[in-house]
A and B are shown apart, each in its own frame.
Chain A
Amino acid sequence: MAKYMLLIFGDQAQWDAMTPEEWKTHDAAHEAFRDAAGAGVKGGAQLESPQVATTLRAGSDGGLLLTDGPFLETKEGLGGYYLVEADDLDQVTKLAALLPEVRASHSAVEIRPVVDHG
């Protein structure tokens, strides 16, 4: 078994423009994902818009610099994640294929293995 992070990226503007009916189908697909993954789901959350993100980094004066906005200023941002446990990449890919974000043209799901410190 190994842990994978499923990072859901997409265009926040497109998510914001979804109708309540579209959200209903969207949420149902997430439920189907969670049902299929069962106990394999170790965590997950939908994130607020990158617009309300705050980024902290080293400033030029040796202190810390707090900036308004996400680390990566791109059109598509991180919209949510799941931490799942699976046997191998094929199994986790099959599960991730159930997420509605892999069907929409503006979004995608990145599958990242989590470092196993044994």
Chain B
Amino acid sequence: MSESVDAAVALAHRREWAQLLAVLARTTGDLDLAEECVQEAFASALVVWPTSGVPDRPGAWLTRVARNRALDELRRRAAFRQRLPLLVTDGSVSPPDSALDDDRLRLVFTCCHPALSREAQAALTLRLVCGLSTGEVARAFLVSEATMAARLTRAKKKIATARIPYRTPPPESLGERLSVVLEVVQLIFTTGHTAPAGPGLVRHDLLDRALDLGRLLHLLMPTSAEVSAQLALMLFTSSRATARVSASGRLLLLSEQDRSLWNATLIEQGVALLVEALRRGPPSRYTLQAAIAATHASAPSWEATDWQEIVALYERLFVLWPSPVVALNRAVAVGMRDGPSAGLDALSPLLSEPALATYPYLSAARADFLRRLGRIPEAASAYEEALVLTSNDVERRFLLERLGSL
């Protein structure tokens, strides 16, 4: 019984948290108060549901408890004449019948407001939209709980004091603002996909939260090509999550993975979303990245991958997003299409790129081409370089093994 109640509370937490917090924030005008009351509503559920039974509509039950708690607090404050800066909740920007008039979207766009730092945006999104505890958010970004608590407090204070409005942006700035939201979701996903340090390569909790966010955005903004493409990209990437690490915990490259372990359902969902995105408009950065992932997903093997197509997609991606990392991936694909010697040539201009000076994948890619050309001493020193640059244990083991096999 108590186990099933715990499961019911956990399920309600994942399904209802964002909606509850978003509504409370709008009605009370106070993010801290909303957070506190929603937290307490879930705590009460853990106490009450084991005896009363799980309510038919858990969301309605939790809303009622959280609202009552907020009303008590607001009355208490009024009695003490406490004045606090309130959220600017001007609902007049989007018409009430607009699909964008959703409390959860308001919350997402406020957490990801461009006047907040990227760190603050990601932390607020995980805490307020996904409902992670401060300790969990701290672990996601490898900082102490005290540091994260201070970061969250500062960010919420800025929202209230600088009057960052609690609303979805008007049409003229929607595109720009949505890009920020998607970058935050992508950051959470990437952090989960390759943990920057520590024992495990993949942080499934963060991947799931990023996917939840992507699905929520797609539900609320079903006609946005960018949202569909970014969700597709995350689905393709996570379809390979279990195949990336061997039974002994070693990192497996795309070329070594057992493709039968790739999650076909996620790939299918990704393809559908990618087709949708392509139909809706000119390809965005996410569309091209998803198309690259889809090309890998449909290849029967590493060797039989359509490298011509992959190189072409990276070239188009580089035009939209001229990042050194994209250039690196394009160079690797050129090496796969035209052979290791061509790959090395394509990598060589990147060696003087300052942004890649501490990027372990550049050294690892060079090491791999050198190894295949039989230039063993040079390959060894490139692997050693990559080892110095990476802190993830699984990646380190992989590089050590490669180095040992030379």
Contacts and interface: CB of A to CB of B under 8 A. Distances in A.
Given A113-B162, A113-B163, A118-B83, A93 B115 contact: yes
B163 A88 contact: yes
A88 B88 contact: yes
A28 interface: no
A101 B164 CA distance: 23
Interface in B132-179: 161-165, 169, 173
A88 B164 contact: yes
A89 B83 contact: no
B90 A88 contact: yes
Contacts of B113: 89
Contact of B165 (A89, A111, A116, A118): A89
A87 interface: yes
Q: Most chain-B CB neighbours within 10 Å: which of A89, A90, A113?
A: A90
Nearest to A113: B162
Nearest to B159: A89
A89 B110 CA distance: 12
Contacts of A93: 115
Interface residues of A, number: 10
A78 B129 CA distance: 39
A13 interface: no
Given A87-B88, A88-B90, A93-B115, A113 B161 contact: yes
Contacts of A90: 164-165, 169, 173
A65 interface: no
Interface in B62-111: 83, 85, 88, 90
A99 to B, nearest CB: 17
Contacts of B85: 116
A111 B164 CA distance: 12
A18 interface: no
Interface in A69-118: 87-90, 93, 111, 113, 116, 118
A47 interface: no
A2 B83 contact: no
Contacts of A113: 161-163
Contacts of A118: 83
Chain A interface, DSSP helix/strand/loop, else mixed = mixed
Nearest to A112: B162
Contacts of A87: 88, 90, 163, 165
Nearest to A111: B162
Contact of A2 (B90, B115, B163, B169): B163
B112 to A, nearest CB: 13
Contacts of B115: 89, 93
A2 B160 CA distance: 11
Contact of A89 (B164, B169, B173): B164
A116 B84 CA distance: 11
A90 to B, nearest CB: 5
Nearest to A2: B163
Q: Most chain-B CB neighbours within 10 Å: which of A89, A93, A113, A118?
A: A89
A76 B383 CA distance: 45
A118 B86 CA distance: 13
Interface string B227-255: 00000000000000000000000000000
Q: Most chain-A CB neighbours within 10 Å: which of B90, B161, B162, B165?
A: B162
Interface of A: 2, 87-90, 93, 111, 113, 116, 118
Interface of B: 83, 85, 88, 90, 113, 115, 161-165, 169, 173
Given A87-B88, A90-B164, A113-B162, 13 more contacts: A87-B90, A87-B163, A87-B165, A88-B88, A88-B90, A88-B163, A88-B165, A89-B113, A90-B165, A111-B162, A113-B161, A116-B85, A118-B83
12 contacts: A87-B88, A87-B163, A88-B163, A88-B165, A89-B115, A89-B163, A89-B164, A90-B165, A90-B173, A111-B162, A113-B161, A116-B85
The 6 closest A-B pairs by CB, nearest first: A88-B165, A88-B163, A88-B88, A113-B162, A89-B162, A89-B164
